[in-house]
Amino acid sequence: MTNKSVAQICAIAAVVIMPSLSWAGTPTKSVASKAPAPEKLNESFITGDIGLNVVSSYYFHGVMEANHSPSFQPYADIFLKAYEGDGFLNKVVFGIGVWESYNTDAKYGRTGKNSAWFEHDVTPSVALSFGKVTITETYQFFSSPNDRFLDSQALNSKLSFDDADLLGAFALHPSVSLTHEIDGKQAIDGRDAANAGPASKHGNYWEAAVAPSYSAGPVTLTLPLVIGIGSQNYYKGNGYGFFSAGLNVAYTLPISKSYGTWTANAGATYYTIDNKVVGNNANRDVVAQGGLGVAF
């Protein structure tokens, strides 16, 4: 074999072998640049909260339920985001809540039950969002484990508007709602052991509220203002029932978000009540409140 033939064979072998060695060794630059990106974690479709609030007096829609004695009120909520999109209807959220009240002045009910467990509420709901406007429909079932009041059922329709983009730090977060009794008595008649009231006379309750707030770091100040109006079959009378103004301070605790968002709150609410309509034994009051909760 001549030297020229050997040289030709070596050249052919180099052409075949060298690309194979390059592929089997370190990857080329183009291959390395196509490595898959880390998977992005999706936001949970299930959220909720749980906590405990304590009030110095318990008022419901202006109706006094516990007269200047502490009430302990635990709660829990679960929400399922069923839909979120960019259309006219941009979000649908289903929820269910449980709320309790243990009143230190309500140990004995209509049947003589010796228990401080005054109230047990279950409230399934659905919220439909259309841009900045949200309509929430809530079924309200209220019962009294110590028989202080008769069971009642009502449907609450709430319209709220997110004005944060319009007013920024001065957003009012306004809302209006209508509660219609569908069984039993929700307010004063259903909670008055001496005067339960005919269950067939269902009433209506209207409410308008704003809740401006300001946040600075972990601290949030909120000023909730509420006006309540009831029909004669809801209250003792007909028309304006009460006005309340509150100041609440919430502090987000420095706990890892892996354990949820923990918040402690404290504040006070001033009530002015029309007793001719509501039928309370107080027309002005100041209620102190505080609590601890976690959202996840």
Q: Across all residues in the chain, what is the average pLDDT?
A: 84
pLDDT profile of the chain (296 residues), mean per 10: 45 41 38 44 84 96 89 98 95 98 74 79 98 97 90 96 92 97 79 49 94 96 97 89 97 95 98 90 91 97
Q: Residue 125: helix, strand or coil by DSSP?
A: strand
- Looking at CATH, the fold of the domain delimited by 46-295 is given as Porin (2.40.160)
pLDDT for 104-115, tens place per residue?
A: 886 555 555 668
pLDDT at 105: 80
Helix H or strand E segment including 10: helix 3-24
113-136 as b/e, with b when 16 or more CB fall inside 10 Å? eebbbbbbbebebebebeeeebeb
Read off the pTM: 0.81
Return d(Cα 244, Cα 248) in angstroms, integer: 13
pLDDT at 147: 85
pLDDT at 29: 36
Return d(Cα 175, Cα 248) in angstroms, integer: 18
| Domain residue spans of the chain | 3-32, 46-295
Return d(Cα 177, Cα 172) in angstroms, integer: 16
> Cα–chain-centroid distance for residue 168?
21
pLDDT at 42: 60
pLDDT at 21: 37
pLDDT for 257-270, tens place per residue?
A: 999 999 999 999 99
